[in-house]
Structure 1
Amino acid sequence: MADNSENKVTPASRQYPDPARKLKNDVATTGHSWDGIEEYDNPMPRWWVWIFIITIIWSVGYWIAYPAWPGIKSATAGLLGYSSRANVAAEINEFEARNEGFFVQLVDTDLEDIRDNDELHRFAVNAGAAVFRAQCSQCHGSGGAGVQAAGYPNLLDDDWLWGGTLDDIVTTVTWGIRNEDFADARWSEMPAFGRDGLLDDAEIDQVVNHVLSLSGADHDAQLAAAGAELYEINCASCHGDGGEGDYFLGAPALNNQVWLYGGSFDAIRETVYYSRFGVMPGFENRLREAEIRAVAAYVHQLGGGQ
């Protein structure tokens, strides 16, 4: 077998390009080789160099003319005095000025007559939707469906604790419910029949079954019959003999299957045993009258307004 060791290429014998080597056009190479491929050491194009210099000069001018360098409390103002915050504020003021006429009209128009003015009603609903998203959706949901487990009312149905007319809704939004901030807040308080020892456990079970029977829900007929008298003595004065409720007292109807805290046996039993005491803030100090009227118009047209 022939010895081909003379033909082997070793690192010591490998030829590397000479950095000073000249190729065509007398342009030197970079001195590197990638798998036998060499690269010319061409200078940057003159046009590219000038563009780079111009961008540097432009950036310096921009730093001087516009807000740029951050400080401890604010950025440099710039010679032109430009402010995106001021521009936004100016746009807000412009739109508020355009809408002010509608807001004045909202206050001057009787609530029941707002719906008769298509343009005003459309404005009220749109403005009220914006107020609702900012102030009310956290509890009542973005679509007004509420959160039953937390006791936040559904505003889409026709079951209202304090009435669902425009006047009723305005009053509720203005003063709120069971808060300590306004003397005119809606107020009612259900006794805690179990916690305060007004009824024993057996009597509570009887009352709960009677309440379930009022709405046609599944119940124990024998216990419901036994709870009828207890209901008449303890509950009918607020909720009505047939469970029809009372808007003036804020007592919910019990003869339908619309429940604020759930309509299961356990949920109703917890309500009877511990009572409920939901609180809603009043917006008299947060919103101007026109905004309150607008959000009332929006809530009223969601589908459950009376």
Structure 2
Amino acid sequence: MADTKSDTDGTALTGHACIQSYLKTLPASPGVYRMLDAQARVLYVGKARNLRARVSNYARPTGHSPRIARMIRETASMMFLTTRTETEALLLEQNLIKQLKPRYNVLLRDDKSFPNILVTKDHPYPMIRKHRGARTQKGAYFGPFASAGAVNRTLNQLQKVFQLRNCSDSMFDSRTRPCLLYQIKRCSGPCVGLISEEDYAASVRDAERFLAGRSTKIQESLAAQMAEAAERMEFERAAALRDRIRALTQVQGAQGINPRGVAEADVVALHMEGGQACVQVFFIRANQNWG
């Protein structure tokens, strides 16, 4: 809650003096801060790895840009929320900026959303890629993820397992020989006919089943294919299938399985103690914790 500070004569503090008055009670922990004007309107939302150190920068009388100096002069009170990690503070900051649209925040005021994974449906050989914003393109969307890093790590592992393309349609149509991703076994080479449309479609279905949380049958199928390849002495194919199973196991371990019955949810927990509030958010998609 915002607390308006007053001088010894009862005059409300503003600007540097107001900000300085909060430093004695601020923790040196990650969190989010809000700067408010005399009418309790939010001027600015920021996040910090160390709240006390970050806010102390605003208490300095000099060294600020004209925009920040003007914001400091208008500040009449502040609000604070501590978080467990800097990443949690970043997510909270993004949500507050989108919700409150403070006048002095010049970033993150657009409709930029959390990232998703998109499996396209407008091409005979669908691609898999990261997607932000409105879901205007035809395809299957999975998410949202808490960060672009979580999406990139998942896509990296999915490419190892299902070997779906991530190139643009124009690049796909112009290829005459397989690219480097095929050489390092991250793509099955559909652009030059190294996999049939039917087999590629099967890989797409498996990727969608995995992203929807139905991965057990995929592992069983890959294990059966690996055993069959070994019996036929197709050892190179068996080794490739083994690597795909290993990659699938790694990405499952990184996601963290949630209790049965919680297929999809945004879990928000709030605990208040001693005048401070702790907020924790989990994104659960397809029985898996995506961050």
Give the TM-score, by structure 2 length.
0.29
Q: Which has the higher contact order (CA 8 A, sep 6+)?
A: 1
Higher helix share: 1
- Whose radius of gyration is greater, 1 or 2? 1
